[in-house]
Structure 1
Amino acid sequence: GPGHRQAAETQRSDELLLAAAFVSDAQYNRNIPFKTSPEAVRLYYLYNHWFMRTATYIFIFLNLSLAVFEEPAVYPLPFLATSLVEVLCLLVFFGRLMHFAKITRRNVFWKDTKNICIMVAILLSLTDLAIYGALRIYNIKSVRWSRIVRPIFLVNFAESRQIRRAFRSIRNTLPEITYVFLLFMFSLLMFSLMALKLFGERNLQTAEGLPYFRDYLEIVFDLYVLVTTANSPDVMMPAFDFSSWYALFFIAFVIVNTYIFMSLFLAVVYNNYKKHLKNEIRTLAYMKRRKMIEAFNLLKEEEGTQFVVREAQWKQLVKLVAPDISNSHRELLLRISDDEQKGFIDKKSFVQLADLLNIQVITLKIRSHPLGQWMPRVYKSAVSQFLRSVVRHRGFVWTYDVIILINAIFIALDEESPYISYAEWVFLALYIIEILLKVYTYEPRAFFGKNQFWNWFDTLIIFAALTATILNTTLKSSKCSLSSLHASGRLGGFELSFAIILVLGGFLAG
């Protein structure tokens, strides 16, 4: 009946929404074990909404920045103001945590150490704030010790998985680093012992008149400083002044500890961090595949001997996961997933959807040049086509690179010379010709597109330099009053600045 049909449609809609959540998790490498009930899924969508995540980041930043305004403060604010802001931040964090508790199972929530850390940090912050406020009422000096727990909010919220991943890789790397560090410390202690035996009984003194290499712990510290090469001559000069042969001891120490051990230390850190990072990426790839398979199992239908997802279902899914992409982009993804245009997507192709959604697709609209519409005979003539082919050629870019280099040389020359002034006009004319030729060759809206930063930069700087040059020349040729000379000097400085910026921009863009 109609009721049964409506219930089936509702169930299908809920399954589609759940599948979209799995695909979105796979796309953004999220691994949150959320509940799969329709209400929990809708709350999960709200939890991952960009506004909620942005608000969380803002309040985390606000909470961390309170240290700048609290006593002892860089920019002091009243205690009431900072305490109200902190309470507001803690309420937001608690609300975010309760939202997370609504979308996860209770046993999973309480087993997650991150959630416990956030709750403890909130309680400690509130307790410290209450104690500090009570002591302040009685004019008793105290310290806000709970500031040290504020970074916990930055690390332990679900949005900070990249930070936790980096910490996890560092933590996994530490055991292997420890062995090399202990070996390095053993070498440092042995060299310190040799230094004590070599120099301890020779009554040597530093340049300040202090005893040199008499105390073992001071020797360890001085040689450790020597490893950093920060104070190398001061450490070895008293021994070198006594006998130049003692330089061999310090040379051997630097070779063994600074070059061999530090290189070994760096190699161990790099290799182990890379190994653990590979394991993290492998885990992410496995998690992504598992999420996509769960989404596939929700939408699959039987087609012959295999299970597939119908094209209509696939399109609805992509609309939910990526509502902002264009229809042409969606059709492109469909053609990649269903390259034989069978009307369905198999499991192997479906699993790749998360990776396809992460690929940035740039849509180019091919427009004809306005001159081709207004003056087609002139614009499509043999001379015009030859000119446009020259502008598109790599040699055109190289030619202007040479012009920019010559311009840079002229900037360094005496600008009071009339020949240099004439050369400025020549270079400006060449740059204006370059812009005009490029606008003539390429479609203007494409040339000045929103992603064409260097084209905008070159054009603005060229016309700013042209304006400054014209004003400078006009003022110089007018009546030479003190004010006009002063203005001319300032405009000349602007003109030189524009020229330097233009040269730098040309090198960077080229």
Structure 2
Amino acid sequence: GTGADNDLYINQAIVFIEDAIQYRSINHRVDSKSLWLYRWYYSRTCQWILSLTITIILALAFIENPSSLTITSDVRYRPPAWNPPCGLTESVELLCLLLFLVDVSVKSYLIGWEEFWKNKWLMAYILTLIVSLADWVVSLSYFCTEIVRVRRILRPFFLLQNSSMMKKTLKSINSTLPEMASVVLLLAVHLSLFTMFAMLLFARTKDGQQDKEWMRYFRNLPDSLTSLLVLLTTANNPDVMIPAYSKNRAYSIFFILFTVLGNLFLMNLLTAIIYNQFRGYLLKSVQSSLFRRRLGIRAAFEVLSSLRETLAIAQQSYVSAGALRQVLLRVEMDARCKQAILRSLKKCSCDQLSATQFQKLFEELDKDSIKQHPPTPEYQSHFMQKMQFAFGHSYFGYLGNVVALANIVSICVVLVMDADKQPSERDDFFLG
């Protein structure tokens, strides 16, 4: 009937507006049962349970065998770590995997079969669950004595696929790799050439006392590569240069050239490329998010314009202000934005909203909240007004900073004076 159709349009508009608020795609099922399931899945309770499940399955690594989770990290005093019995952590893990199975099933159903084949993350999610469950069965069949557990390597994927920010970061890294490859190749050539020069320059001589540089850092090809690779990060600078520098100051030219070309030029060039690629991808990501928001708002307008009570004038669709108000009251969104949109809707004198007016109302979602200080209280008492003036003056804040600085200085002086004293000889009066 007409009433059922209107209720469906209202629910669709609610979901589309919530999709726009969260920058979600609107490519999902929109029948009444699917909309109820969709809102339940993205509710705070359901998402909180999913986040807790991810935390638990990642935290299992701290107590699973082999585990080093003890009070102290010193091997001399560390007691044996608790070894849970076989089946305890596996039961918790199975529960988490079953919840993930429900999660991927609901996601796959909501987006539909056609969108499922386009979503590589969901297919990878299902493959990860299949491998994890198969490895879990193998683990129990061996009574938890197997050496390799493949599913432990796959656990971070559950966190990755549930975080849109991590997905964006991974895509950005993937798009940056081709640009980075050329600079990485230059770094490899730079490192290889200077490694060969170093092995020729610091070759072994007849005088063993003068071969300290060769013996410590450039004895063979792997040692030479390692020494210069570490020098590229300046971690062993100037230690790697000292034996040769002690022999002849001119050897420092080699290390200076290597550091200037590698660290100050090529590494900075690599950093600039990474920054530029991330900046470009971030701009595209923001544009994509804003487009999804505009698309969700437009979809809400289209379904609301299909209501029986709306009008179509000159082949142009309109939305009833009352229908929009009914939708806004049921949408889960920030209270500040909701009140601002309702106020703007109330100021609008028209009963029917065009697409431009409808979109303009939701521009409030793009605005950041401005936090203001609460107004200064007004007192009738003359004494309270004097107190308010004195304690509210900027000089009173300066006085508080001076007192805090004096306390810090006095504590430092006492700590320095008592540094060499035995605990029984110390006077803790100043420290409380």
| TM superposition score normalised by structure 2 | 0.82
**Corresponding position of 2:150:** 145
Other-structure match for 2:86: 79
Counterpart in the other structure of 1:102: 109
| Structure 1 residue corresponding to 2:44, chosen from 32, 42, 50 | 50
TM-superposed deviation, 1:363: 9.7
Which residue does 2:304 correspond to in 1?
A: 299
Which amino acid is 2:335 matched to?
I
CA contact under 8 A between 1:27 and 1:354: conserved in structure 2? Answer: no
What's the counterpart of residue 124 of structure 1? 131
Query: Could you tell me which residue of structure 1 aligns to residue 11 of structure 2?
Result: 17
Alignment pair present for 1:29 and 2:23: yes
Contact 1:206–1:212 (CA<8 Å) still a contact in 2? Answer: no
Q: Summarize the Cα distance change of 1:299–1:102 in structure 2 as closer, same or farther, 3 Å threshold.
A: same
Instruction: State yes or no: 1:283 paired with 2:298.
Output: no
1:337·1:345 contact (CA, 8 Å) conserved in 2? no
Match of 1:479 in 2: none
Q: Does 1:254 align with 2:262?
A: no
Does the residue aligned with 1:105 lie in a helix, a strand or coil? helix
Which residue does the alignment assign to 1:333? 341
Q: Which amino acid aligns with 1:83?
A: E
CA contact (8 A) 2:390 2:396 kept: yes
**Are residues 1:350 and 2:355 paired?**
no
Verify the 8 A CA contact 1:212 1:238 in the aligned structure 2: no
Match of 1:135 among 136, 139, 142: 142
Matched, 1:171 2:165: no
Q: Partners of 2:274 and 2:340 in 1: how far apart?
A: 43
One-letter amino acid of the structure 2 residue matched with residue 47 of structure 1: Y
Q: Distance in 2 between matches of 1:290 and 1:136?
A: 53
Structure 1 pair 218–365 and aligned structure 2 pair: CA distance change class (3 A): closer
- Given candidates 327, 342, 360, the residue that maps to 1:317 is 327
SS class of match (1:232): coil
Residue identity in the other structure for 1:37 = D
* CA apart distance, 1:360: 4.2
Matched AA of 2:218: F
Within a 5 Å distance, the mapping from 1:368-447 to structure 2 comes to 376=380, 379=381, 381=382, 384-409=384-409
Structure 1 pair 206–131 and aligned structure 2 pair: CA distance change class (3 A): farther
Letter matched to residue 394 of structure 2: R
TM-score normalised to structure 1 length: 0.70
Change (3 A) 1:245 1:153: same
1:187 aligns with 2:190: yes
Could you tell me how far apart the structure 1 residues matched to 2:56 and 2:267 are?
Answer: 40
In the alignment, the residues of structure 2 paired with residue 235 and residue 299 of structure 1 have an alpha-carbon distance, to the nearest angstrom, of 72
Alignment length (residue pairs) = 402
Q: AA paired with 1:319? A: L
| Cα 1:349–1:178 shift into 2, 3 Å | farther
Partner of 1:451: none
* SS state at 2:147 partner: coil
Are the equivalent residues in 2 in contact too, given 1:338–1:345 (CA < 8 A)?
Answer: no
On the 8 A contact 2:9/2:304 being kept in 1, the answer is: yes
Please tell me whether Structure 1 or Structure 2 has the larger radius of gyration of its CA atoms: 1
Q: CA deviation at 1:124?
A: 1.4
CA shift in 2, pair 1:32/1:314, >3 Å: closer
Q: 1:254/1:341 Cα in 2 relative to 1: closer, same or farther (>3 Å)? A: same
Tell whether the 8 Å contact from 2:245 to 2:251 is kept in structure 1 after alignment: yes
* 8 Å Cα contact 1:338-1:349 kept in structure 2: no
How many angstroms does 1:367 deviate by?
10
Evaluate the alpha carbon distance shift between residue 331 and residue 272 of structure 1 in structure 2; reply closer, same or farther with a 3 A threshold. Answer: closer
Range moving further from structure 2, 402-411 or 182-191? 402-411
Structure 1 position 223, deviation (Å): 1.0
SS at match of 1:79: coil
Structure 1 residue 191 displacement after superposition: 1.5
Deviation at 1:348, TM superposition (A): 3.1
How many Å apart are 1:195 and its aligned residue?
Answer: 1.8
Q: Which residue of 1 is the match for residue 55 of structure 2? A: 61
1:361 CA drift (Å): 7.2
Q: What is the CA-CA distance between 1:128 and the residue it aligns to? A: 1.4
Q: Which amino acid aligns with 2:231?
A: L
Shift of 1:67: 2.1
One-letter code aligned to 1:246: Y
Instruction: Give 1:232-247 correspondences, 5 Å limit.
Output: 232-247=237-252
Q: Which moved more, 1:86-95 or 1:97-106?
A: 97-106
Greater helix share, structure number: 1
SS in 2 for 1:210: helix
- Match for 2:165: what amino acid? Q
Q: CA deviation at 1:13?
A: 1.6
Matches of 2:131 and 2:325, distance apart in 1: 49
For structure 2, the residue ranges without an aligned partner over 5 or more in a row are 69-81, 416-423
Q: Percent identity between the aligned chains?
A: 26
User: Within 2, Cα distance between the matches of 1:249 and 1:414?
Assistant: 50
**Distance of 1:8 and 1:144 partners within structure 2:** 57
Return the structure number with greater relative CO, CA threshold 8 A, min gap 6: 2
Change (3 A) 1:401 1:91: same
RMSD: 3.2
Unaligned runs of 5+ in 1: 1-6, 416-485, 498-510
Q: What letter matches 2:199 in structure 1? A: L
Shift of 1:275: 0.9
The 1:124–1:413 alpha-carbon spacing in structure 2 relative to 1, beyond 3 Å, is: closer
Deviation at 1:356, TM superposition (A): 2.4
Segment of structure 1 superposing worse, 387-396 or 57-66: 387-396
